[in-house]
Chains A and B, each alone.
Chain A
Amino acid sequence: MNFCSKFTSVATLAFVATTGATVVAAETTLEIVKERGNVRCQVGPPSPGYYNLDSEGNWYGLDVAVCQAVAAAVFGSKDALEIQSVSSQARFTALANGESDLLSRTATWTMTRDTQLGIDFLSPNFYDGQGFTVRVDSGITSAMELGGAKVCVTTGTTTELNLTDFSRSNDLGISNVTFEDYNVRDDTYLNGGCDAVTGDKSSMAGNIASFPVPGDHMILPETLSKEPLAAAVRHGDSQWRDVVQWSIFALVNAEELGITKANVDDMRSTSKNPNVLRMLGAEGNLHEGLGLDKDWAYNIIKNVGNYGEIYEAYMGGGEQGIGIERAGSLNALWTDGGLMYSPPMR
């Protein structure tokens, strides 16, 4: 017994000593990233619109563009990047244990995650919400008309919980038909196995576009849940947090100021707008606080474009886009009535 307690205390001391030593030796994330020469950005298993592989083996998507923006800000090139695809069970662990520098993957910003998992969420880069898809010929025009309907849903996510809550609070008696894989869920719906599908509206819009006859299906107006999708970093490293946060803001701010991938060079040399000049590093010293080069924001726009361009390419009507209407949605700029808003860069 005595021996045991002695042993334990010695072990504890040794543990404290070693961890103490590592804390002293630890560098900031920005230093580690610069030393390594690339940003390790975590995404999930491919998900349309956000992060996908193309047939050449390259990553593309909205969240991938955020990764590329951070890489461009730090290194001046969007290719100084290692994309890590991590399953959703391991996503926060992989960020916490230092495997990933940042997480940019359709993670909903919730209070529990932000306060209890040792991670910090940044401002959302996409506002999503859960909704229903129905067949046009079913005559259903509102989710309130779904009484007694069979609804296909993927299991193990908050989607299922939201559906149950919605059904209970509105006394609709919806019966859940659950699936592991959303491809199977959609096949079942298409073959008449259920009356409606529920899921995040953005991904459902993409899925409908892939149905044999997209015009036969529609998304109901109701939104069941708030899904602000945001990037996240480890808690406690404010400098790195600033770098990632302002890289994302730079995307939005550039759109607001009308800076695009194509005109960024012109804007830097000919613009008379002090906001533009400050942001692109032609004037002032915004970069100093971030510990980056003067060109950090210029490099972001030059490499990946502004938020509007990214949205159009991957979420909107671009060749690799899943065709979600932006105008009138929460993802429009604040000047157009949306929620995309960057604090002033000055």
Chain B
Amino acid sequence: MAIVNTNKTPDRAAPISETSMLGWLRRNMFSSVFNTLLTLSMAYIIYLSVKGILVWGLFDATFVADNRRECYDNSLTGACWAGVIDWLDNIFYGRYPRDEIWRINAGGLLLVLWMLPMWLPRVRGKVLIGATVVVFYPFLAGYMFSGGEMGLFIQIMASGAIASFVIIVANALVGLTKDVGLDTFVLEALGKTKAPDKTQRNLLIVLAVALFVVANLWVSTWALEGVSWTKWGGLFLTLVISGIGIASSLPGGILLALGRRSELPVVRVLSTGFIEVFRSVPLITVLFMATTMFPLFMPEGFVLNKLTQVIIAVILFNACYMAEIVRAGLQAIPKGQFEGAHTIGLGYWGTMGLIVMPQALKHMIPNIVGNLIGLLKDTTLVSIIGLFDLLGMLRSISKDVPWLGLHKEPLIFGAFLFFIICFSMSKYSRHLEVKLSAGEKH
């Protein structure tokens, strides 16, 4: 005689008010008269603005025209994208000779292919990938972009770049298909897996040297037309300046931060002074100093091109900000970590490189990426000192006679480009955080 029903009541579907779209709308949008009014008026505003944007930017817009007058003839109320389309080469590559643009594309593609294996699963030797990119790629890219006479040093570095690129790509392919490293694969193919370690190593070295020689023979036949840096511009220039800035300001910042926390008084005072001076001055001042004042201090005939000056200024400026971010990260590491490292016999660089930095850097990722995004956007300031970076090019469209006064469309396009780049950087940093599980606490 049970009064309690021991049988489980069958599951019922959730009430329609909880699951359906209508239920959600009712709960969140129309729960009271006031909310209903609010929802309706907001919907109307959104409708108006979206409609306005679409009509201006799409339905009434002109995409094909030879000049702005033709855009007007087509529609007085729509955007004139034809000007932006006409200027696309300028926007992306600046004044780079049109026949040589493939060099920029090839250089960019090379970098992507080179770096891509770092993010692929099952690929071995990721440290090597990073190291070769940093050591060799700048020289190869530098030659591809500027061309002209190739010195012996550049020839060697470019050959090294080609050889390591081939190795990296082969390694990635072997890793993806066979799930082994390139070295293992080659040794297996040659049937030398059983040979002593020393023979194996020597064999690999010989192969690498042979590859280098072949690459060198090929590179020595290159004769790319010289392109002056004054012809660099557009998105390409923006990426060159910010790319070098990003790649150099982080290591620079780490060194400065370590210097500022150093126990050696001279190093500490110098680092602190350097950081404080550069941080207390606006970037535009640093840029002006670098480009107009610097040549006055130098002996006559000493010429450092403006682009180099600008890049150095950007690196120094951002290294200081980076240093403070790194210092904040270092301070978050408990003292026990340092002491622990000491007790297992690590010296200064061992402690920093193996114990402290890896932990600290994880915590700094959001700040570092925030700073790098800032750096990318700050590079637009170089248009003020006469370099035609992305923004400089976009602003020039409104001065070109066929497109006179066309200034909104280019800026909107520029905003769109910057958004894509910055948003992907931000997304990537989130991904890194999750991967390194630094984001657990949010």
Binding site for B on A (CB under 8 A): 18, 22, 25-26, 45-49, 52-58, 82-87, 89-90, 93-94, 97-99, 181, 183-184, 186, 206-207, 209-212, 319-322
Contacts and interface: CB of A to CB of B under 8 A. Distances in A.
Contact of A90 (B291, B399, B405): B291
Contacts of B89: 55-57
B435 to A, nearest CB: 42
Contact of A183 (B95, B388, B401, B407): B407
A212 B404 contact: no
Nearest to B401: A320
A97 B89 CA distance: 33
B296 interface: yes
Contacts of A86: 385-386
Contact of B90 (A55, A84, A97): A55
A322 B386 contact: no
A82 B404 contact: no
Given A90-B292, A97-B292, A322 B86 contact: no
Given A53-B400, A183-B407, A26 B300 contact: yes
- Interface pairs A-B: 10 shortest CB-CB: A57-B95, A210-B405, A46-B399, A210-B404, A183-B407, A85-B386, A46-B396, A55-B86, A86-B386, A90-B292
Interface in B374-423: 383-386, 388, 392-393, 395-396, 398-402, 404-407
Contacts of A55: 86-87, 89-90, 400, 402
Nearest to B296: A97
A322 B404 contact: yes
Nearest to B230: A82
A87 B288 CA distance: 10
B98 interface: yes
A186 B405 contact: yes
Nearest to A89: B288
Interface residues of B, number: 40
B404 A56 contact: no
A90 B306 CA distance: 13
A85 B395 CA distance: 14
A33 to B, nearest CB: 14
Interface of B: 68, 72, 76, 86-87, 89-90, 94-96, 98, 228, 230-231, 233, 288, 291-292, 295-296, 299-300, 383-386, 388, 392-393, 395-396, 398-402, 404-407
A203 B78 CA distance: 25
Nearest to B291: A90
A183 B90 contact: no
A48 B384 contact: no
Contacts of B68: 210
A247 B107 CA distance: 42
Nearest to A23: B300
Contacts of B72: 212
A22 B299 contact: yes
Contacts of B393: 53
A207 B404 contact: yes
A84 B404 contact: no
Nearest to B231: A57
B295 A53 contact: no
Contact of B288 (A48, A57, A90): A90
Given A26-B300, A183-B407, A53 B95 contact: yes
B75 to A, nearest CB: 10
A277 B258 CA distance: 74
A22 B300 CA distance: 7
